[in-house]
Amino acid sequence: MSARNLFKPFYILGIVPVMLVLMLFSTPAYSANYPLEIINIRPAGTGNPAIPASNRIFRAYPGIEYNIRAAVTGGLYPFTFRLTNAPPGMTINASTGEIRWPNPQASSGTITLTVTDAENRTATTSWAINVTTNGFVFVDSKHTGAETGSITQPFRSVGSFFSSSAASNTTNIVYFRGGNYVLPAHSATQVRIEGRPFTWIGFPGERVTMDAQGRHIGAGAGIYFDSLHLRNFRDWGLYVRSNRNYMTIRRCSFRDLDTSTSVNHNQGFIFTENAGAGFYLVIQDNEFSHWRGGSAIGSLYNTKRVLIENNYIHTTLGGGSTGINNGIAPKYYTDYLFIRGNHVIMSSGTPLAWYLNSSFVDTHHVDVSFNYFRQSGSGGAVHRWNPHGSQGRLNYYRNTAVGAIHDFRSDPCGKGPFNFYDNVLIHSTNGLNRSCVSYRNNVTGSLTGNVVDASGNLTAAFSSYLGTHGHQVNFSTAPSEPAPSEPIISAPRAPSGLKIVN
């Protein structure tokens, strides 16, 4: 094990490493890279671009739990969240920003949300919630009798809903009751929700499973998917245009995707086709597993101010016919991209950064922090950065990355800057430490060096780095990779009580 440049100044002064550890825990190591911003909650009609009044956050159905989570970019993690002027019964998780209102009955006044970062900087926003029965549609696979789409007479299937007049109002919020649903085909390859409501939510406390029947979901609108279990895809899961704003994919699980051709078409569970710039995409608290020949998240094109947070990616099935096998795959013009708190555990392919579909082409301002990346295959690369086009600033810090290779595939000089600091990097080959890369204060070790255990947590011998280096805080945060037959489990939550120090 080595800790490059970590102990050298203190050895010169004759101070023992134990003294250094005490200093590490008492002095902040660095400042925020970008301003603190709440990107998914603001007054209706405000922002640039403006958040539409039809967004899910502005409406609740009487008696059905209202549940959203704040999405925060920039600042110095961790964050503390606080509500003021909240309606009776509404609470917020102070560590994660999850907002719950179990039993809304009357519309709220103006609610204020404040987030405070580890440097005591704050960002504030406000919004109001209309509690109404208007603009909601219900689907229940167990229902018998008349189908009007109301809560007492829901549609029985997605097909009957698609055939109804309620499907013509794209601003409707659709609640699915627990059960199994088949997504009807628009063509041999696609289920199409363009021109239909694009806010789909699983009913609180009920499991909703949707079968795409070997097709993909084509969505031209700015989708909002919450608490859905989506299965059985071919080539893509969600195929959306990049120029849509305020898209949210939260608390969903995506499973079972295969590819049909050897040609690279940016296959993956979430693909943002390049159609111009779109802003404020949030992918939060999801699970992705059992895919072949594509990416779990990606390829992403032309998405701006994006948060990918607390997702769990595991159980890849390999490169398939395309040879492509990525975890998180930003590709082109994904500016101001924040990748935080994800667990990406793969036996083949690359968890993040590859020369083709995860290559950060002409991408600027990427902030990667507090993630656990593991590539357990023999000789596999956990990261293979490929500076391409005019790639700009990349900050990669407080991550734990375990795999055979960390490397630049092409020369990063003249690009960037590339900043790698306060990580735990376990590998047999490290090509990151070169003159044109800022590489500092990283704990490094070999695959057999006993620095981290099988779950990516620091071993007892290296526990002094807990809370200062790598993704880990003071408890086990890395789920082990389940067997393919295991059921989907809950995605990991953001760590609480963490303070970033040097």
pLDDT for residue 290: 98
Strands 72-73, 66-69: pairing is unpaired
Q: From residue 295, give the alpha-carbon distance in Å to each of 82, 233, 358, 478.
A: 36, 13, 9, 21
Region 37-130: CATH code:
2.60.40.10
- For 83, counting Cβ atoms within 10 Å of its Cβ (0-12 exposed, 13-18 middle, 19+ buried), the class is middle
Tokens of 380: 């596999």
CA separation for the pair 160, 167 (Å, rounded): 9
Residue 29: the pLDDT is: 67
In Å, how far are 244, 323, 329 from 267, measured between CA atoms? 19, 11, 10
Distance CA 235, CA 165 (A): 31
Model's pTM, two decimal places?
0.90
Rounded Cα distance between 265 and 462, Å, is 43
Nearest to 301 by CA among 325, 256, 328, 331: 331
Structure letter (DSSP) for residue 456: S
**pLDDT at residue 389, as a whole number:** 85
pLDDT of residue 245: 97
The domain spans of the chain are: 37-130, 242-465
Give the pLDDT score at 221.
Answer: 80
Q: Distance of CA 460 to CAs 400, 403, 465, Å?
A: 16, 21, 10
What is the enclosing helix (H) or strand (E) of 467? none
pLDDT in tens, the chain (502 residues): 443 333 222 222 222 232 233 233 333 467 899 999 999 999 999 999 999 999 999 999 999 999 999 999 999 999 999 999 999 999 999 999 999 999 999 999 999 999 999 999 999 999 999 999 999 999 999 999 999 999 999 999 999 999 999 999 999 999 999 999 999 999 999 999 989 999 999 999 999 999 999 999 998 788 999 999 999 999 999 999 999 999 999 999 999 999 999 999 999 999 999 999 999 999 999 999 999 999 999 999 999 999 999 999 999 999 999 999 999 999 999 999 999 999 999 999 999 999 889 999 999 999 999 999 999 987 789 999 988 888 999 999 999 999 999 998 888 998 999 999 999 999 999 998 888 999 999 999 999 999 999 999 999 999 999 989 999 875 444 444 433 333 333 333 433 333 333 3
CA distance 165 to 163: 7
d(CA 474, CA 495): 9
Strand stretches in 119-178, DSSP E: 122-127, 130-131, 136-139, 173-176
Q: So what's the pLDDT on residue 70?
A: 98
